[in-house]
Amino acid sequence: MTAATPAPLGTPIVRPIHHSAAYAFETLADAREVFAQRASGFTYARTGNPNVAALEAEVARLEGGECAVATSSGQAAVSLALLTLTGPAKDAHVVVSSRIYGGTVDLLTDTLADTGLEVTFADPREPQQWEDALRPGTRVFFLESVANPLTELPELEAIAEIAHRNGVVVIVDNTVATPHLYTPGRHGADLVVHSATKYLSGHGGPLGGVLVDTGSFDPTEDPERWPWLTRKHHRWGDRSPVEVFGARRALLGVARCKYLNDLGPCMGATTAHEILQGITTLGVRVERQSATAERLALTLAEHPAVERVHHPRFGDPRQQQLRETGSYRGVGGVFSIDLKGTPEQVEHAVNSLRLIKLAANIGDVRTLVAHPASMTHCRLTPEQFRVSGITERTLRVSVGLEDEADLTADLFQALSVIAPAHAPQPRSASTTAAH
């Protein structure tokens, strides 16, 4: 377009994708200020990009947080959070929920354990276990707001109170609940992590992660405990991260400018764009998925092939109470069932599903089942397996947006290999789209 051509009226509704690795400066003086972190700006897309920044701002807003860093996957978000809080400490110890995503168990007990990090597991329904696990070096409590795959709800407020009394930072993985159903920052979480691959994206496409700082952690309240955030260092131009980024942004400043920059698990512009598009429908998706999951859980509880349904609807009175009064707008689209029958029959039932796919993912608009013992949690030790509550007969269901009657019919025809039962009659015509 030449200078003489008038600019067309109208601006795009959807933000354009900024596919640029590097960002140009007018002057060397401008570049020098941004590179030295004395002025804000994009330099190179490993540490920031306009689409990624828009996603970070949106997830921070949804979580009621101070700021956020997006990453290449949920694993990267969890890794960055743990490295920033424990990496430089010689005596680092974390207490972790025993009901947790298998990838997080691998990260903590294998990869980060190799670096000297020590881990104790505790039941998220038993705050006393968290208190008992404390050591002088404990820096982090890590738990999930709705546990994957058994859908248990944690005693977050009581656990966070123990943490904050002892100078410990609380990280909550809010992947299953999503900020639409639950905001951990209002109940004591200092950091919130997401696998954006799941409900935030919602359509089973890109991998992504987000790490949100809720703004409650201030390392200057106990500077000796967090010297890598509060002391001057040549990395930060002989200033401290607190001086460079501010007390409440020092943690994510270091996560981005040190760990994301040095290790490189950054999110791409197209991925950020797709996840932001997904977030525009987050509320309607998770409300429907949560409601369908609860009704399917109720229907399956009556099925003769089902031994047990894992959903807070069927939990003990305290789980019911947390679900009703714990500020959850729903518990999400994931639940699990323990089947009756032999392992061969369970396998046959899984292989008999037609509409529902066998895949290790959750949060997709398509309903997926997984067999955690063979898939997501296959590397757990026998002891970890025992405390996880998962068995060889546990199936996880992640409910999509198909018609409930079609899902019921598919589950019933598959479960008939264990024990036949009649599917309830559909209430209305199917609206399930062909895949």
Ligand X SMILES: *Cc1c(COP(=O)(O)O)cnc(C)c1O
User: Binding-site residue total for ligand X (CB under 6 A)?
Assistant: 17
Amino acid in position 239: R
| Residue 178 found at the interface with ligand X (CB under 6 A) | no
| Residue 175 found at the interface with ligand X (CB under 6 A) | yes
Give the footprint of ligand X on residues 306-335 (CB under 6 A). Answer: none
What is the closest distance, in whole angstroms, from the C-beta atom of residue 149 to ligand X in the complex?
Answer: 9
β-sheet with 67-71: strand ranges across: 67-71, 209-213, 191-195, 169-173, 138-144, 93-97, 118-122
Size (the chain), residues: 435
| Residue 109 found at the interface with ligand X (CB under 6 A) | no
| Residue 103 found at the interface with ligand X (CB under 6 A) | yes
What is the closest distance, in whole angstroms, from the C-beta atom of residue 122 to ligand X in the complex?
Answer: 17
What are the structure tokens assigned to 179, written together? Answer: 């900020």
Single residue of 74, 179, 202, 253 touching ligand X by CB under 6 A: 74
C-beta of residue 356 within 8 angstroms of C-beta of residue 322: no
Give the footprint of ligand X on residues 342-381 (CB under 6 A). Answer: 362
Single residue of 63, 144, 406, 410 touching ligand X by CB under 6 A: 144
Binding segment for ligand X (CB under 6 A), chosen from 71-79, 164-172, 288-296, 421-429, is 71-79
What is the closest distance, in whole angstroms, from the C-beta atom of residue 334 to ligand X in the complex?
Answer: 8
Residue with the CB atom nearest ligand X in the bound state: 74
Amino acid in position 412: F
C-beta of residue 81 within 8 angstroms of C-beta of residue 211: yes
| Residue 260 found at the interface with ligand X (CB under 6 A) | no
Give the residue from 79, 64, 208 showing the smallest Cα distance to 142: 79
Single residue of 84, 97, 109, 195 touching ligand X by CB under 6 A: 195
C-beta of residue 66 within 8 angstroms of C-beta of residue 215: yes
Amino acid in position 146: V
Output 162 or 211, the one with its CB closest to ligand X.
211
DSSP codes of every residue in 298-355: HHHHT-TTEEEEESGGGS-HHHHHHHHHSS-S---SEEEEEE-S-HHHHHHHHHH-SS
Single residue of 188, 209, 278, 400 touching ligand X by CB under 6 A: 209
| Residue 73 found at the interface with ligand X (CB under 6 A) | yes
What is the closest distance, in whole angstroms, from the C-beta atom of residue 231 to ligand X in the complex?
Answer: 32
What are the structure tokens assigned to 85, written together? Answer: 């809080």
Binding segment for ligand X (CB under 6 A), chosen from 124-132, 168-176, 387-395, 398-406, is 168-176
Helices 269-279 and 50-62, packing angle to 10 deg: 30
| Residue 197 found at the interface with ligand X (CB under 6 A) | yes
Output 151 or 299, the one with its CB closest to ligand X.
151
Output 197 or 299, the one with its CB closest to ligand X.
197
| Residue 207 found at the interface with ligand X (CB under 6 A) | yes
Binding segment for ligand X (CB under 6 A), chosen from 73-81, 294-302, 321-329, 417-425, is 73-81
DSSP codes of every residue in 8-71: PS---SSPPP---SB---SSHHHHHHHHTTSS----BTTT--HHHHHHHHHHHHHTT-SEEEEE
Helices 404-415 and 282-301, packing angle to 10 deg: 40
Amino acid in position 97: S
Single residue of 37, 84, 148, 299 touching ligand X by CB under 6 A: 148
Binding stretches for ligand X (CB under 6 A): 73-75, 101, 103-104, 144, 148, 173, 175-176, 195, 197-198, 207, 209, 362
